[in-house]
């Protein structure tokens, strides 16, 4: 994995007028980086907007064929500020999920060859917004430890801050299973176990009365 460090550190600040107090947040460096396909024949290049501003000769953010020179396959436009961990690609880099760290509204977007397939807002995935905390530029809606990508089947699993689990097909952006689908079978299963326990308890008591010792 190749990395090119940006010399610009992005610092967002909000000024609290009353009392003249400055509250700083989200101090981070935006890096340019590359992600290669599994066969090494394609490469995704993310060019930091700040690097692009200072060097307009840099390649635009997108996927390129790796030959004697880089040949554009498709551009990925309007991504804005992003980190390498925000992207999940299929093996050939055709499909991708973009999970922006720097966002207070968008949870995840799915692309096919640079074309937006589907987008989900945070409120689409979270059932309890009180579980989400915010900084100046970010919304902490995802439990990152619950993120998993099955590259063989292009299935992406995400877990929300309110403990809902979603499985997405990154080639379509569709939800394969979600947290609510997990909850319903569990509730039904518990109900069946309780009913069966009550039934057999009553039955056994009845049998004990029929055949006294």
pLDDT value at 61 more than 50: yes
**Has domain 3-177 been given CATH number 2.40.128?**
yes
What mean pLDDT is reported for the chain?
81
pLDDT in tens, 166-207: 999 999 999 998 765 444 444 444 455 544 555 455 555 555
**Spatial contact of 160 and 145, defined as CB atoms under 8 Å apart:** no
Calpha distance 202→196 (Å, rounded): 10
pLDDT of residue 52: 83
Give me the phi and psi of 92, to 5 degrees please: -95, 5
In order, the DSSP letters of 29-51 are E--EEEEE-TTSSEEEEE--HHH
Calpha distance 42→37 (Å, rounded): 5
Q: Which residues, at least 6 apart from 89, have a Cβ–Cβ distance to it below 8 Å? A: 35, 37, 44, 95, 96
In the block, which residue shows the tokens 């569990």? 186
pLDDT of residue 165: 96
Calpha distance 28→101 (Å, rounded): 11
pLDDT in tens, 141-152: 999 999 999 999
pLDDT value at 16 more than 50: no
pLDDT of residue 96: 98
pLDDT of residue 13: 42
């Amino acid at each position: 994995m190749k990395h090119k460090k940006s010399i610009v550190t992005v610092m967002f600040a909000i000024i609290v007028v009353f009392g003249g107090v400055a509250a700083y947040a989200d101090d981070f460096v935006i890096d340019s980086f590359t992600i290669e396909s599994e066969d090494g024949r394609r490469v995704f290049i993310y060019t930091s907007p700040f690097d692009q501003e200072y060097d307009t000769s840099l390649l635009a953010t997108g996927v390129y064929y790796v030959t004697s020179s880089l040949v554009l396959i498709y551009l990925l436009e309007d991504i804005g500020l992003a980190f390498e961990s925000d992207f999940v690609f299929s093996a050939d880099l055709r499909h991708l999920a973009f999970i922006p760290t720097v966002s207070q509204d968008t949870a995840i977007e799915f692309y096919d060859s640079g074309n937006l397939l589907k987008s989900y807002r945070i409120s689409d995935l979270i059932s309890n917004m009180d579980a989400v905390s915010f900084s100046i530029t970010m919304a902490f809606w995802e439990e990152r430890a619950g993120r998993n990508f099955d590259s063989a089947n292009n299935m992406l699993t995400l877990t929300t801050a309110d403990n809902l689990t979603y499985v997405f097909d990154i080639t379509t952006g569709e939800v394969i299973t979600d947290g609510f689908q997990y909850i319903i079978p569990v509730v039904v299963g518990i109900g069946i176990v309780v009913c069966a326990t009550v039934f057999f308890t009553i039955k056994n008591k009845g049998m004990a009365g029929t055949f006294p010792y």
